Amino acid sequence: MLQHGFQPDHACVVSLSSALGHLGRLNNGREVHAYAIKQRLHTDLQVGNTLMYMYIMCDSI
């Protein structure tokens, strides 16, 4: 997405985190988490909860 100039918002980060959690894609989830931190989206409650869910689904917590 970023390569094509698309800047994901908090709703996109929530959707991606949830999907990656269901797929067990921890490395990709970490990339989304890093993006959320850089864009200061991680302070959003829904983003934070979904990121935690992703880590739980990937057995990383």
47 part of a folded domain: yes
Give the domain extent around 46: 6-57
Entry pTM: 0.85
Distance separating alpha carbons of residues 43 and 2, to the nearest angstrom: 21
The pLDDT score that the predictor gives to residue 7 is 83
The pLDDT score that the predictor gives to residue 3 is 67
pLDDT tens-place string over residues 1-54 = 666 677 888 899 999 999 999 999 999 999 999 999 999 998 899 999 999 999
Answer for the pair 58, 26: CB distance below 8 angstroms, yes or no: yes
CA angle 38, 19, 43 (to 5 degrees): 30
1 part of a folded domain: no
19 part of a folded domain: yes
32 part of a folded domain: yes
* Exposure of 13 in the CB half-sphere (CA atoms within 13 A): 27
24 part of a folded domain: yes
Domain count within the chain? 1
The pLDDT score that the predictor gives to residue 1 is 63
